[in-house]
Structure 1
Amino acid sequence: MTRTISGNPMLGTHTGPIDLSRPHFVGIGTPMLAGLAQICAVRGAFVTGTTGTTGVDFGQVTVLREAGCAVTVGPDPAAAGSASCVVFTPADADTPELAAAGKHGVPVVHWAQVVNVLAGRLIVVAGTHGTTSTAGMLAGGLRELGQDPSFLIGTDIDVPGSGAHAGVQFFVTEADESDHALLQLTASAAVVTAIVGDHPENYDNLTSRMSAYVSFAARMRPQAVLAVNGDDPGCRHLAARLRTLRPDLRIRTYGYTVGTDVQIVGVSRRSWNSQVEVDIRGAGCAVMTLRTPSLAHVSHAAAALTLLTGLGFGHLAAATAVSGADTALAGELPSHQRRESHHQGESPRRTSP
């Protein structure tokens, strides 16, 4: 996702209303900002952005320009100085654009603050491991269930620009605690995959890391759904604290551990596929067929299933949807190209199962 930075990256950022009519993105070539810029452009904003002069992903730049974004390779302080706001990731906090924004009184906002403005029913995937694959399974699963979710994933699914989409019913994103994005989001539903030691430059110990997750959960909407990994000690500790702090949250657990709400009871492999049997408390058994042999992805699929059933989707339909999640997302055009194809009477491109 975002690159690592030490210290508190939110110091000095804007705390008032955010005007997204003319946003300027610093580091627009990075996956999260590129995807967010695409979504803003599709929703009618005039988007400008700058990317570094080395390691430029010109495929990503081409997609952004085709979406209507004005992208400059190298610094462009003038564009930042005339923007309605400047959007950044903390790794790009020391740039001429941010200095120009300060000089001209342009609000500087963290990318997660923009997500909060754009999102209606926000679904956040957080945790030390597996956030990208879990977020992808959730977005693809929602599509298989007939929804049209917005999503912002920290990597391209296949073609450049495919890691983001401007939809309507939900907004699925992953959030990294390393850049404090987690603390800027107000979720209607969330997954926490694991809470273990990472990013020592920002967290002294597991206690300080746990505090970040508790603060995130404390910001969630009333009656929000929270799926946590019942196999992970950190997640179990988080759930225990939240049952006292936020008794209104609908906390659901998943994993191999006996007693979890969605328990993985069997995994069998055939070639590159995995067949996963789960026992869902109060509903019965279901089977997911995943096109991967990875046991880590088995856990991520269980996380997606747990959240989808927590949102009210039937367990059998949700299991089938997670099984087809990769097909639902892979091979599609970026958002603006899907829109143009639709206007030309074409069907959006999709891979065969």
Structure 2
Amino acid sequence: MDRKSKNFNVIHFVGIGGSGMSGIAEVLHNLGFIVQGSDLSLTDTTKRLSKLGIKIFRGHKKENIINAELLVASSAVPRNNIEIKEAKKIKIPIMKRAEMLAELMRFRFGIAISGTHGKTTTTSLIANMLAEGNLDPTFVIGGKLHGTNTNARLGLGKFLVAEADESDTSFLHLQPKIAVVTNIDNDHLDSYENSIEKLKLGFIDFIHNLPFDGMAVMCIDDENVRSILNKINRRVITYGFNQDAEIRVKEIRREGICTSFKVYRKNKFLLDIKSTLPGSHNIQNTLASIAIGLELDIKEDIIKKSLNSFSGIDRRFCITENIVTENGIINLIDDYAHHPTEIDSTINAIRDIWPNRRLLTIFQPHRYSRTKDLFDDFVESLSKVDFLIITEIFSAGEKPISGINSKSLTRAVRLSSNLEPIFLNDIQLLPKILKKIIHPKDILLTIGAGSIGDTSKNLCFSLQVKKPVGLVS
């Protein structure tokens, strides 16, 4: 897809502030299309798009699409949205986000990263590796890369690297040359008839969208991924800790926040790697990127250099500040974890790095449906911290579900653990509460996929009594 297309000029994005939508909008803008969009609120993302020259409407109104010739709609936007209804009425074509991504991928060498967890990190690692190898990729990522303040870029090379979102089955629109499956977990099952088996079939169909000479890169450590391997009729490269993995890791050494390990292909030593990404889950994400780098004949020194230089992604184990508080110096970590598996991975990574530190956690549940479906798993995961504060559920546009709320989750954690968790219905009170309970050298962790990231940034300023100092070891 390029600007030579004369079928439409003005493309309107409904929900343009979303992580996936904003990236595609930016790429289309850089291709020369006239791009505009609307969202319920103005954010750092919409402000950045506006500075690029993309017109942003605050709120959804039918007047916003008067000049539009094509609508791109986020799956997070309800189908009864006034702009979508008006587009149908006046016969403006409507595309899903993934359909537009598929159009961008159609004439490029597509690398699509799928999986319940780890998509953003793995996509970023691969994009960074291709860039380090002077392959000038186009990428669309679900989070901002540190140092670039962007989640998308239009490159001149043949590669397009993007996340493949399984949440609404829309990843089935994509037809990449290489597909990655990081894991398959119990999430978004409402799109799959509430069946994990149907979800696994969705991933099989996604892989079978590959051309005959395509390749799937799959994490063999994951039980659900392992269970579908014999149903795949494309070339597969497996990776992981498992001794059956083709790309395998051995001799892991943790050095503070960094992790060093050796990479083998079957039993042949390939690489010595030092990664700045903490946690076993990030070793797996790194292995996926290495597998693709090797497949694309990227030189080993480039692979190592790209991993050493990788600066991370916004809200993925982000040590935002080391704060001098009234009670002493603490570390503040912000993470996007919003599923029990992700929470476990984040907690385990913190325990590996700082085994003797007290872990204070502020959790903002994301979606009523997820809280309901994974309630017991959330209770188990959250019970592993030392002090817990739970905020109101971030609805993400969902309607409340009777009996599912943060109070009931707080109560369940209290009954099943030794913790005395706090339910916080007013997030503005958080600094006041924390000042009463913080100890020197505490690790303060904010987790969730909603507005908790902004709260974390504000805590840096509301808790500190002096300018932040260097990382506390």
TM-score (norm 2): 0.61
RMSD of aligned residue pairs (Cα, Å): 2.2
CA–CA distance in 2 between the matches of 1:114 and 1:18? 16
Q: 2:224 aligns with which of 223, 228, 234?
A: 234
CA–CA distance in 2 between the matches of 1:20 and 1:134? 34
Q: 1:140 aligns with which of 107, 113, 128?
A: 128
Contact conserved, 1:80 with 1:101, CA < 8 A, in 2?
yes
CA–CA distance in 1 between the matches of 2:34 and 2:268? 48
CA–CA distance in 2 between the matches of 1:114 and 1:30? 15
Classify the secondary structure of the residue corresponding to 1:91. Answer: coil
CA–CA distance in 1 between the matches of 2:150 and 2:127? 12
Give the 3 Å change call, closer, same or farther, for CA 299–162 of structure 1 in structure 2. Answer: same
Report the counterpart of residue 203 of structure 2 in structure 1: 213
Task: State the 1:313 CA deviation.
Answer: 2.5
The answer as to 2:171 corresponding to 1:171 is: no
CA–CA distance in 2 between the matches of 1:185 and 1:18? 23
CA–CA distance in 1 between the matches of 2:20 and 2:179? 18
Give the 3 Å change call, closer, same or farther, for CA 18–125 of structure 1 in structure 2. Answer: farther
Report the counterpart of residue 102 of structure 1 in structure 2: 88
Contact conserved, 1:134 with 1:303, CA < 8 A, in 2?
yes
Q: Which amino acid in the other structure matches residue 17 of structure 2?
A: G
Task: State the 1:65 CA deviation.
Answer: 1.4
CA-to-aligned-CA distance 1:73-115 (integer Å, 9 cap, x gap):
1123233243121001122133111011101111110111111
Task: State the 1:207 CA deviation.
Answer: 1.1
Structure 2, unpaired ranges of 5+: 315-473
Give the 3 Å change call, closer, same or farther, for CA 107–266 of structure 1 in structure 2. Answer: same
Structure 1, unpaired ranges of 5+: 1-16, 330-353
Contact conserved, 1:304 with 1:322, CA < 8 A, in 2?
no
**Pairing 1:52-201 to 2, within 5 Å after superposition:** 52-53=40-41, 56-57=42-43, 59-92=44-77, 93-119=79-105, 120-158=108-146, 161-168=149-156, 169-201=158-190
Contact conserved, 1:141 with 1:324, CA < 8 A, in 2?
no
Percent of matched pairs sharing the same residue:
23
Report the counterpart of residue 429 of structure 2 in structure 1: none
CA–CA distance in 1 between the matches of 2:101 and 2:276? 31
Give the 3 Å change call, closer, same or farther, for CA 194–264 of structure 1 in structure 2. Answer: same
Report the counterpart of residue 32 of structure 1 in structure 2: 20
Task: State the 1:159 CA deviation.
Answer: 6.6
Task: State the 1:173 CA deviation.
Answer: 0.9
Q: Which amino acid in the other structure matches residue 104 of structure 1?
A: I
Contact conserved, 2:180 with 2:288, CA < 8 A, in 1?
yes
Report the counterpart of residue 271 of structure 2 in structure 1: 286
CA–CA distance in 2 between the matches of 1:52 and 1:160? 25
Give the 3 Å change call, closer, same or farther, for CA 263–273 of structure 1 in structure 2. Answer: same
Report the counterpart of residue 12 of structure 1 in structure 2: none
Q: Which amino acid in the other structure matches residue 107 of structure 1?
A: P
**Pairing 1:261-272 to 2, within 5 Å after superposition:** 261-272=246-257
**Pairing 1:314-333 to 2, within 5 Å after superposition:** 314-326=299-311
Q: Which amino acid in the other structure matches residue 154 of structure 1?
A: G
Give the 3 Å change call, closer, same or farther, for CA 258–200 of structure 1 in structure 2. Answer: same
Contact conserved, 1:262 with 1:280, CA < 8 A, in 2?
yes
Q: Name which of structure 1's ranges 19-28 and 75-84 shifts more when overlaid on structure 2.
A: 75-84
Task: State the 1:297 CA deviation.
Answer: 0.8
CA–CA distance in 2 between the matches of 1:36 and 1:111? 8
Contact conserved, 1:149 with 1:171, CA < 8 A, in 2?
yes
CA-to-aligned-CA distance 1:132-160 (integer Å, 9 cap, x gap):
11111111111111111111111122378
Classify the secondary structure of the residue corresponding to 1:289. Answer: strand
Runs of 4+ in 1 over 4 A off after TM superposition: 17-20
Give the 3 Å change call, closer, same or farther, for CA 211–276 of structure 1 in structure 2. Answer: same
CA–CA distance in 1 between the matches of 2:178 and 2:6? 23
Q: Which has the higher strand share?
A: 2
Classify the secondary structure of the residue corresponding to 1:23. Answer: strand
Contact conserved, 1:76 with 1:97, CA < 8 A, in 2?
yes
Contact conserved, 1:136 with 1:326, CA < 8 A, in 2?
no
Task: State the 1:322 CA deviation.
Answer: 3.0
Whose radius of gyration is greater, 1 or 2? 2
Give the 3 Å change call, closer, same or farther, for CA 205–126 of structure 1 in structure 2. Answer: same
Contact conserved, 1:283 with 1:315, CA < 8 A, in 2?
no
Which structure exhibits the higher relative contact order, with contacts defined as CA atoms closer than 8 Å and separated by 6 or more residues?
1
TM-score (norm 1): 0.81
CA–CA distance in 2 between the matches of 1:79 and 1:225? 42
Contact conserved, 1:144 with 1:325, CA < 8 A, in 2?
no
Q: 1:254 aligns with which of 239, 244, 247?
A: 239
Q: Which amino acid in the other structure matches residue 125 of structure 2?
A: M
Contact conserved, 2:257 with 2:276, CA < 8 A, in 1?
yes
Report the number of matched residues. 305
